[in-house]
Chains A and B, each alone.
Chain A
Amino acid sequence: MTATIGRAIPPQRQRVLDALNLKEPDRVPIGLWGTVEGYQHLRRGLGMGYNEDFKNYRTGSTTWTTDVAFEADLAEKLDVDFLRVSIGPSGGSPGFRVLDLDSIPVPLQVPSPPDDAEINIDEWGVVRKWTPHENGGYYEMIGYPLFDATSAPLEEGLEILREFPWPDPWDEAMWQDSPVPGMSLREYCKYVREETPFALMGQGGRGGLFEQAKYMVGYAKIFSDFIESPEFLDAMLIKLVDLEIEHNKAFLAQCGEYIDWLRMSPEDLASEKTAFMSLPMFENQLVPHYKRATLATKEFYHTKNPNGKIQFHSCGAIPEPFMRHLIDCGVDGYDSMPPKVARHSNPSAKKRQLGDEMFFYGGIDVQETLPWGTVEDVRAEVRQRIWEVGHGGGFLLSSSHRLEHDVPVENTLAMIEEAHEYGKYPLPDTPPEGADTGDGYEPWDPNPKKRKRRPKPSPAA
């Protein structure tokens, strides 16, 4: 059991800890996850004050759009159970540390002319263009610093990797502030643990492995590089693993004892239909890197919090054999459980396949139900998901990706209310309408039809 200082574990945090430890809590724990605009939209809808300048938030990742921390007052008002926090530069920055173009030793693939849009180079050397939309905007990736390096002669490519101005994981600017103005990251995490009832998930990584490799090389090219430039890719992934481990350590050194579970830098390994790559390619070219990153992170984490769990993110339909490898790498939990993917890997299948070995986070559809469904659609989906994934514990309910500004506030509220009502343990045995009970399910086939020569027509025929 996790040690507490001077008081009992509050019920919110306790139900999260139970779920993480694959025990049935009193009810399914709930959390929120969103973009800046989604966060603003929710606070506005609830009549709560908020910072209107969407560019002046402390955001925490270098992926396409950025996560924002949901503050404790909102969590209290909505009666949810956990918060998220990440390492990151202070508020007012674009969510990443901005590099000077001249410090990049390789020519960047900046589409010309870059017109008069706001162009930044993020801390990985990826060229980002501020792309506004009606409610805010995001930093679109438009140039990939290692695009040419992968196809250069190997020695030249490796030299670029050595010279590249990689981000400094131990940059102190990354933990000077927190979602609460005036508090450092460590102070904030201590505050959440000691003065709020909420559990806390943390994220220290700034880019990840395969995911960051995509951003460094470009989306299309990275895939053929798995076939054409495996040595370069391996060297790049070794570097990215080193950085992931160090980023996680730097973060955990600040606040590891207050972090109930850690999310590795998000990865995307699958489309909605299947994995991005074949199982052998995944086993040979990615698994060793995931293993090193996860195990080293976990080892350090456990010096701070011996019960700390590791959560892995991917969108899409990751087939079961891929998930089993991740578990072998030391992964304890998986988000974001997108429900509208191929049935071999939907939330119901994931629970049946892996529910004894890992916890799950997410699950409520952000592609249709939350933004476009009715309140009753949302409630029905919450019941389905809780029934599919919640039995035996191990389910933390949240949106299946970031809540954006197009999700009506009443739908977010319906999600939470229904989880409060239906999510009480023990859960019913009878499935709610529309739940995937596994009838007629077919597992993903890791061995597509073996090629056999067709029987030749006999000469007599």
Chain B
Amino acid sequence: MPLKIDTEIEFDLEDLQYDFEDSMETDRWHDAPAELKELFHRLEWNIIDGEHADTVGFIDTALEGDISARTLISGPMATGIAEVGRRFKMDEYFLPEVMMSAKCMHEALARLKPLILAEKSEEVGTVVIGTVQGDLHDIGKKIVAMMMEAAGFTVHDLGVTVPPEKFVEAVREHNPQIVGFSALLTTTMNMQWETLKVFAAEGLREDLKVFVGGAPISQAWCDKIGADAYAMDALVAVDKAKACVTRLKNLTGGAPELHEAMLEIDREREAAKAAAAE
């Protein structure tokens, strides 16, 4: 039985803006044994520093310590890459540094993927996901896919620059409840819309809950093109996806009630955040 460790993530991890020693002094993962706590912090800093040659070593050490893949992904890997994202946003990191950290994530995810698949206990639902045609961005979509997988979904990741007909084909083959379109460019986001139109034309729209995400994507864009849910990050995507296959499973794709329920999840998160801040 893998160790159960609290990986509840708060993304304002101020200590990660300083250094390893500082982050060690926080009480994050206080419920883990001391050497694992240190390992988690080292893994965070490995990702922040982009030292990808060492990443798998940390992952393997953690796995030997009976830590689950899911804990690693939603724990130190998520906090490490979140700090990279924060630095990028603040012009402290630029693309070269981000690409190095991305390599760490790719290495780690490649190592963990088979374990995630093996670890999955219950079948929650099926997701087809891909980056739309013309767009080569991979990592954000990959993280969403992995987090969905970690949450128990069967995920069919179609990769990058996926043409609409490939999405349609995959939907016919795998019968997912959810399909996710990723786009990282203003020049490719329109392809989300185009792909959605193809789904409608093929008569598949009502059977599917359509998620959109990516840097230029917003709730307003989601509303404009008539997608069901916008997810600002992987965790929100997982939350909304879970709701879609449980309490909202009887709602059809494109239904206004579904759209409203998705917005309600955002409002609840905001409210919880505000409450926590007080």
Binding site for B on A (CB under 8 A): 219-221, 223-224, 226-228, 273-278, 281, 367, 444-445, 448-449, 451-454, 456
Contacts and interface: CB of A to CB of B under 8 A. Distances in A.
Contacts of B103: 224
Nearest to B98: A223
B251 interface: no
Contacts of A226: 96
A453 B94 contact: no
Contacts of A223: 95-96, 98-99
9 contacts: A221-B99, A224-B96, A224-B100, A227-B99, A227-B100, A278-B94, A278-B97, A451-B18, A451-B19
Contacts of A274: 91, 94
B92 interface: yes
Contacts of A454: 14-15, 18, 22
Contacts of B18: 451-454
Interface in B23-48: 25
A456 B14 CA distance: 14
A275 B94 contact: yes
A89 to B, nearest CB: 27
Interface of B is mostly: helix
Contacts of A278: 94, 96-97
Which secondary structure characterizes the binding site on chain A? loop
Contact of B94 (A220, A277, A445, A456): A277
A445 B91 contact: yes
A226 B103 CA distance: 14
A277 B92 contact: no
A227 B92 contact: no
Given A223-B96, A224-B99, A448-B91, 20 more contacts: A221-B99, A223-B98, A224-B100, A226-B96, A227-B100, A228-B100, A273-B91, A274-B94, A275-B94, A277-B94, A277-B95, A278-B97, A367-B186, A444-B91, A445-B91, A448-B92, A451-B17, A451-B18, A454-B14, A454-B18
A461 to B, nearest CB: 14
A456 B25 CA distance: 10
A272 B226 CA distance: 27
B18 to A, nearest CB: 6
Contacts of B94: 274-278, 281
Q: Which 9 A-B pairs have the closest CB atoms?
A: A224-B99, A448-B92, A223-B95, A226-B96, A223-B99, A223-B96, A277-B94, A276-B95, A278-B94
Nearest to A282: B94
Contacts of B97: 227, 278
The residue in A223, A277, A451 that gathers the most chain B C-beta atoms within 10 A of its C-beta is A223
A145 to B, nearest CB: 17
A220 B100 CA distance: 10
B136 A220 contact: yes
A420 B124 CA distance: 64
Interface in B84-134: 90-92, 94-100, 103
Contacts of B152: none
* Most A CB within 10 A of own CB, among B21, B92, B96, B136: B96
Interface in B5-22: 14-15, 17-19, 21-22
A383 B97 CA distance: 40
Contacts of B15: 454
B152 to A, nearest CB: 31
A228 B22 CA distance: 28
B50 interface: yes
Nearest to A444: B91
A209 B94 CA distance: 19
Interface string B58-95: 00000000000000000000000000000000111011
